[in-house]
Amino acid sequence: MGLLSGLFRSRDKPQNRTSGSAYSFFFGGSSAGKRVNERSAMQMTAVYACVRILSEAIAGLPLHLYRYKEDGGKEKALDHSLYRLLHDEPNPEMSSFVFRETLMTHLLLWGNAYAQIIRNGKGEVIALYPLMPDRMTVDRDGNGQLYYEYTVSMDDAPTVKGSVVRLKPSDVLHIPGLGFDGLVGYSPIAMAKNAIGMTIACEEYGAKFFANGAAPGGVLEHPGTIKDPQRVRESWQSTFGGSGNSNKIAVLEEGMKYTPIGISPEQAQFLETRKFQINEIARIFRVPPHMVGDLEKSSFSNIEQQSLEFVKYTLEPWLVRWEQSIQRTLFSPEEKKQYFAKFNVEGLLRGDYASRMTGYATARQNGWMSANDIRELENMDRIPAEEGGDLYLINGNMLPLGNAGAFANTEVSDDGKEEDSDEEVLEVEEPGGDGNGSGSEDAVLERHHRRGKLV
């Protein structure tokens, strides 16, 4: 404890800034003049699409709890209490899908996901409740030990009492995103607030452009002096402003003339800017552009490869964060040696039907998948073992794996004829035959049986 006190003092609490820097990565104003926070960012279609794609992908994957077997394999730990919490229902108020979707949304918007761990008297986890990241503070006490401080709202589940509650690390499932201290993650929205602020500004510009009747601002010129220019301006705006008044014919009196002074959106590269910002936001979340509706550089030949890269380079790091956080927090030291949680991504890595069948055929013919292994991957019922559902076959007349090499004991003599190296071959004479036993079908089967040990 003395060593920890020397290394981690109370002032060394996790902060939302780099070491020695006064610049903080918080929500707020952007260089485009627009305020960016988690709610305004989610009003951008590209941000909403990326957050929804990632959160639903994580929530939709099967999450299983496994137990190590003595023979080195693994099996689902269906009898463990955590299996039901992780796979089905983490608390009485929500399903596993909704729970993981909520935490993943928090992780993408705030850079951290928190859930309160409810335990019974034996220390077993009986429920998990999401906590809002913007009301959570991570700090150290005087001994350098981490603790979590949560500000309670009336909307929270009644699992805690008081306005501010201090929780121990063992009472919080904390999944941090990318950060500089390994304890607190930084919000992707806050880190990229200038790019998102520019997107908000572009969208607001387009909305005001069409609100003005898709016509740029201009000047009303009068040859004389206008006594009440405010009234003329308001009259013009009410008559010709707005998309509902577009294409109306203006009647100008007393020599008045309208001269537009704005520039077209094409000249301002408005559409190109908006399109680039969509790709910019997709780049922040590492989501392929085709998944947010940009199919310009996608084709039939490469879109499947992009989807596989999405699983490998985008989803996989998030899944590892989830799995290791669950392993670190929810299991006791003894359970960590026996159990582990794992997401099943096989469904996302599956190709089209023809490719899957070709792969299954190769695996089946080479002896490393049985019919039941394949049927389980295709969500089909198992074939009973007595009907051969668990047999592993190999090429060469599709023999059972246990009989592979049955003819290894057969030697070839100098004259090219097969001879039995271990035991004498019994010749069986066919009734009514020529006496040499070679013309009988039963004799042929008998010779093959003795040489190959076939069943």
How far, in Å, CA of 237 to CA of 248, rounded? 12
Cα–Cα nearest to 128, from 119, 117, 136: 117
Cα–Cα nearest to 281, from 205, 208, 207, 197: 197
Helix (H, G, I), strand (E, B) or coil at 202: helix
What confidence category does residue 153 fall into, taking pLDDT thresholds of 50, 70 and 90?
A: confident
What tens digit of pLDDT does each residue of 112-128 get?
999 999 999 888 999 99
Highest-pLDDT range among 96-100, 243-247, 303-307, 364-368: 96-100
What tens digit of pLDDT does each residue of 91-112 get?
999 999 999 999 999 999 999 9
Residue located via tokens 């979340």: 285
The pTM is what?
Answer: 0.68
Highest-pLDDT range among 140-144, 230-234, 368-372: 368-372
How far, in Å, CA of 321 to CA of 197, rounded? 29
CB atoms within 10 A of CB 85: 20
pLDDT of residue 104: 96
Pull the structure tokens for residue 314. 């985008």
How far, in Å, CA of 24 to CA of 119, rounded? 36
Pull the structure tokens for residue 85. 């919490």
Pull the structure tokens for residue 233. 């301006």
Cα–Cα nearest to 141, from 15, 9, 14: 9
**Between 255 and 337, where is the model more confident?**
337
pLDDT of residue 426: 42
How far, in Å, CA of 63 to CA of 100, rounded? 10
Whether the per-residue pLDDT at 424 is higher than 50: the answer is no
Cβ-based burial of 379 (10 A; exposed 0-12, middle 13-18, buried ≥19): exposed
Q: Indicate the length of the chain as a whole number.
A: 455
Range 228-247 average pLDDT: 67
Pull the structure tokens for residue 287. 């989501």
Whether the per-residue pLDDT at 235 is higher than 90: the answer is no
How far, in Å, CA of 149 to CA of 131, rounded? 11
pLDDT of residue 268: 59
**Between 227 and 121, where is the model more confident?**
121
pLDDT of residue 431: 47
What confidence category does residue 305 fall into, taking pLDDT thresholds of 50, 70 and 90?
A: confident
Domain ranges of the chain: 1-216+262-349, 353-404, 406-455
Range 234-241 average pLDDT: 69
Pull the structure tokens for residue 204. 């607001």
**Between 265 and 228, where is the model more confident?**
228
Range 262-279 average pLDDT: 68
How far, in Å, CA of 11 to CA of 401, rounded? 65
pLDDT of residue 49: 92
Least confident of 87-91, 382-386, 397-401: 397-401
Burial letters 352-364, b for 16+ CB under 10 A, else e:
eeeeeeeebeebb
What confidence category does residue 337 fall into, taking pLDDT thresholds of 50, 70 and 90?
A: very high
Residues 6 or more apart whose Cβ sits within 8 Å of residue 142: 5, 10
Whole-number percent of the chain with pLDDT over 90: 27
How far, in Å, CA of 143 to CA of 122, rounded? 28
Alpha helix segments (H runs only) across 251-330: 270-285, 303-309, 316-330
**Between 286 and 20, where is the model more confident?**
286
Cβ-based burial of 403 (10 A; exposed 0-12, middle 13-18, buried ≥19): middle
Strand locations in 23-91 (E): 28-29, 35-36, 63-68, 74-76
How far, in Å, CA of 391 to CA of 373, rounded? 10
In this structure, are residues 360 and 374 in contact, taking their beta carbons and an 8 Å threshold? yes
Cα–Cα nearest to 381, from 354, 65, 389, 64: 389
pLDDT of residue 23: 47
What sign does the CA torsion over 313, 319, 322, 325 have? Answer: negative
How far, in Å, CA of 276 to CA of 57, rounded? 25
Rounded to the nearest integer, the mean pLDDT of the chain is 77
Least confident of 251-255, 267-271, 277-281: 267-271
Residue located via tokens 């730990």: 77
Residues 6 or more apart whose Cβ sits within 8 Å of residue 39: none
Pull the structure tokens for residue 284. 């922040």
What confidence category does residue 90 fall into, taking pLDDT thresholds of 50, 70 and 90?
A: very high
Whether the per-residue pLDDT at 314 is higher than 80: the answer is yes
Cβ-based burial of 281 (10 A; exposed 0-12, middle 13-18, buried ≥19): buried
pLDDT of residue 292: 81
What confidence category does residue 322 fall into, taking pLDDT thresholds of 50, 70 and 90?
A: very high
Whether the per-residue pLDDT at 369 is higher than 60: the answer is yes
How far, in Å, CA of 214 to CA of 247, rounded? 9
What are the two backbone dihedrals, phi and then psi, of residue 37, each rounded to the nearest 5 degrees? Answer: -140, -175
**Between 439 and 337, where is the model more confident?**
337
Pull the structure tokens for residue 198. 């520019």
Q: Which residues pair with 164 in a beta bridge?
A: 151
What are the two backbone dihedrals, phi and then psi, of residue 16, each rounded to the nearest 5 degrees? Answer: -90, 50
pLDDT of residue 140: 86
